[in-house]
Amino acid sequence: MTELAYDLHIHSCLSPCGDDDMTPANIAGMAALKGLDAVALTDHNSCKNCPAFLAAAKEYGIIGIPGMELTTSEEVHAVCLFPELYQAMEFDRFVYSRLIKVKNRPEIFGKQQIYDENDSVYREESCLLINAVNLSFEGLWEKAASYGGVMFPAHIDKNSNSLIANLGFIPPDSSFQTVELKDMKKLHSLKREHPYLEHCRIISNSDAHYLEHINERGFTLPAAERSAKAVVDTLRRGLF
């Protein structure tokens, strides 16, 4: 086993709320500068910048993991990660077919830029990506798994767009084994209120929309090897 310093929730300039400097290559470069081992790109409801990001991550010698932050029909945010790029892009096509289509207005919501492997914009996404997807939180674990991936609820301690805030509870028949907290100081009180968390691996990511907000080296995950597959396997197993 090896311990990998991670940040598994980062937005590029494809997310309308992401800063224009959050290009795939800039993200990989900043992650390497901060000493991270494993980094995931998780734009809102899209994996379309993951090919460029994985190419840049390879150049910088870090583990790039393709993924997205999906918005369910209940407007719960959940991170979905995949061991292989082709799995992420197949999931991307499925999610895009379920996305509520509204034309983006860049002057209001922000640009949605898709980059090539030369870190240049080659097109913009026209449909607003921060809308909900016609897919319930119930069954999302199984849906991500059917594409070879893993799902974990995002920032469950936030008072909006989180599993607890939007549903009011953690469904007792849930299958996820990992959850994300923004503020680890809230962990003990959350465990008292939601015993399901006692069985989960707890991780903390930056949810960065600006380069300077990407995590410093600190939080680590155990993994069987230095690979995206090993990271996804750890998240899928949780504590067990």
Digit-coded pLDDT (tens) for 55-91: 999 999 999 999 999 999 999 999 999 999 999 999 9
Tell me the angle at which helices 50-60 and 24-33 cross, rounded to the nearest 10 degrees. Answer: 30
* pLDDT for the residue numbered 43: 98
> What residues contact residue 83 under an 8 Å CB cut-off, 6+ apart?
65, 148, 149, 227, 228, 229, 232
Of the candidates 223, 219, 205, the one whose C-alpha atom is nearest the C-alpha of residue 7 is: 205
pLDDT of residue 240: 76
- Environment class of residue 6 by beta-carbon count within 10 Å: exposed (0-12), middle (13-18) or buried (19+)? buried
CATH numbers and ranges of domains, the chain: 2-237 (3.20.20.140)
- Residues with Cβ within 8 Å of residue 184, at least 6 apart in sequence: 202, 204
CA 123 from centre of chain: 22
Percentage of the chain exceeding pLDDT 70: 100
Q: Quote the mean pLDDT of the chain.
A: 96
What confidence tens digit (pLDDT) does each residue in 157-185 have? 999 999 999 999 999 899 999 999 999 99
Across 37-42, average pLDDT: 98
Give the global pTM: 0.96
Answer whether residue 29 shows pLDDT above 80. Answer: yes
Largest interatomic CA distance in the chain: 49
40 pLDDT higher than 90:
yes
Backbone angles phi, psi at 153, to 5 degrees: -65, 135
